[in-house]
Amino acid sequence: MREITLSQAVNEAIAEEMRRDPTIFLLGEDVAEAGTPFKILSGLVEEFGTERIIDTPISEPGFTGIAVGAAMTGSRPIVDLMFGDFLTLVMDQMVNQAAKIHYMSGGKLNVPMVLRTNMGATRRSAAQHSQSLHAWVCHVPGLKVAMPSSAYEAKGLLKTAIRDNNPVIIFEDKLMYQDKAEVPEEEYLIPFGEAKIHRPGRDITLIATSSMVQVAQQAAESLAQEGIEAEVIDPRTLVPLDEGTLIASVKKTSRAIVVDEGHRNYGITAELASRITEKAFYYLDAPVQRLAAMDVPIPFSPPLEDLTVPTPDRLVVAARAALKGELPHGA
């Protein structure tokens, strides 16, 4: 099968969907001729014109709010939010407006929009361009949240997101834009709420999101050499969450580590660990461990920044400890 980059996969998904549905348009900063700083959208404006690939001023709340209104009135807008860190700027539009309109209107209005943005540290972009803030929006009922872990997932999830009748936020790890994966030529969609077992195993479950799936895969490789069989699961969408697959896996392996690049405090790892202890407690043979971004603003200095994110090595150490019963009990 052909291999394309995650960036190409996103571009293809948008182009295919825009060809299919004329109500779709895309707006954001430097999305047209510039094709975004990551060049993800290059070529789209040539095909669809500036009427549908709309360059906006640097006004994140403004154009996100416009997308909400457009979505309520027959359009299917895709918002390009250049950095996930700018989520802070659009929170009122996403949280107080987009997420609640369907509910507040008793089901009369709805907001079929997609907000594409990114996440991920170690690009030496410092504290305001390196955050992974997906937990913030996962907390809000009414929003859906997808976390592609490869080009394949990025395309299938984005196409599903565009067709969804609710506001969906997609976080792409900006370090993965040039990563290649097998992506079929034919059309496919990835349903929301279906986790993917990337690698089966019987000894420990590694639940990983986005680029952390790669981290988990690498850790699983190393562990396999020690005879430890790790199962790597990618929830793919955090809202809705395929709890069943996660719980079934943990019941099988009796051990779990949750890996996510958001901050550890009150984050995704906490939520998933909590669900495991709620639903698989009597199957656990070790405390559920969490690997997440360190609870510090992301530092600029490369050796410091590298300390803040989960790595395969750290995951291997954690998994080994769980297998050997070397974890401190409780907290």
Partner 1 sequence: MVHEIIMPALGMTQDTGVIVKWCKQAGDLIATSDIIAEVETDKTTMEIEAGYDGVVAFLKAEIGIPVPVGEMIALLATTHEEAVKFAQGPAPARASEADVAASCEVLASPRGAQSELPSPLRTPATGPALQTELQPARILASPKARRLARKRGINLQTLVAQGIRQPFHVSDLDAIPSTVIEPLAVIDELQMQVTTEIFDGFHARIITQTEARPTVGWFMAALVAGAFRKATGGDWQSKVGLHLKSFDVGGDDMVMQNPDLSGLRGIREMDPETPVELVLIDLSTSRLTEYRPGQRHAVPTLIMNRTPDRRFFKFALYYPVDHLSRVVAVQLLNNLVERVEDPFIQIL
Partner 2 sequence: MTIPNISNSETYLRMYRQMVRIRNFEDNANKLYLTAKMPGLTHMYSGQEAVAVGLCEALEKTDHITSTHRGHGHCVAKGADFQQMFCELLGKEEGYCRGKGGSMHIADQENGNLGANAIVGGSAGIATGAALSAKRLATGAVTVCFFGDGALGQGLLYEVMNMAALWSLPIIYACENNLYGEYTHVSEMAAGQLKTRASAFGIDSFEVDGQDVLAVNDLAQDLVVRARRGEGPFFVVLNTYRYHGHHVGDINRAYYRSKEEEDEWKTNRDPIKNFAHWLIDKKIIDQQDLTEIQKDIAAEAEAAVIYALAARYPSEREVGDHVYKI
Active site residues: 60, 129
Give the number of C-alpha atoms closer than 13 A to the C-alpha of residue 12, restricted to the C-beta side: 21
The contact pattern for partner 1, residues 248-267, with x = CB under 8 A and - = no contact, is ------x-------------
H-only helix segments in 164-253 = 212-225, 243-253
Choose the one of partner 2, partner 1, none that binds residue 106, judging by a C-beta under 5 to 8 angstroms depending on kind: partner 2
Pairing relationship of beta strands 144-146 and 114-119 according to DSSP bridges:
unpaired
Residue 110 found at the interface with partner 2 (CB under 8 A): yes
Q: Tell which one of 10, 26, 32, 68 touches partner 2 (CB under 8 A).
A: 68
Residue 285 found at the interface with partner 1 (CB under 8 A): yes
Q: How far is the CB of 226 from partner 1 (least distance, A)?
A: 15
Q: Which is nearer to partner 1, 140 or 276 (CB)?
A: 276
Residue 331 found at the interface with partner 1 (CB under 8 A): yes
Residues 74-103 that bind partner 2 (CB under 8 A): 74-75, 77, 92-93, 96-97, 101-103
What SS3 class is residue 291?
Answer: strand
Choose the one of partner 1, partner 2, none that binds residue 326, judging by a C-beta under 5 to 8 angstroms depending on kind: partner 1
Q: Tell which one of 57, 107, 141, 325 touches partner 1 (CB under 8 A).
A: 325
Task: Give me the residue label for tokens 């009922």.
Answer: 141
Instruction: Output the CA angle 273-218-296, nearest 5 degrees.
Output: 55
Alpha-carbon distance 87 to 73, whole Å?
Answer: 24
Alpha-carbon distance 278 to 276, whole Å?
Answer: 5
Chain center to CA of 205: 19
| E strand segments, the chain | 3-5, 24-28, 53-55, 76-80, 114-119, 144-146, 168-173, 180-182, 196-199, 204-208, 230-234, 237-239, 256-263, 289-293
Choose the one of partner 1, partner 2, none that binds residue 286, judging by a C-beta under 5 to 8 angstroms depending on kind: partner 1
Residues that bind partner 2 (CB under 8 A): 23, 25, 51-52, 54, 56-57, 59, 61-75, 77, 92-93, 96-97, 101-110, 112, 141-142, 144, 165-166
Residues that bind partner 1 (CB under 8 A): 254, 281-286, 321, 325-331
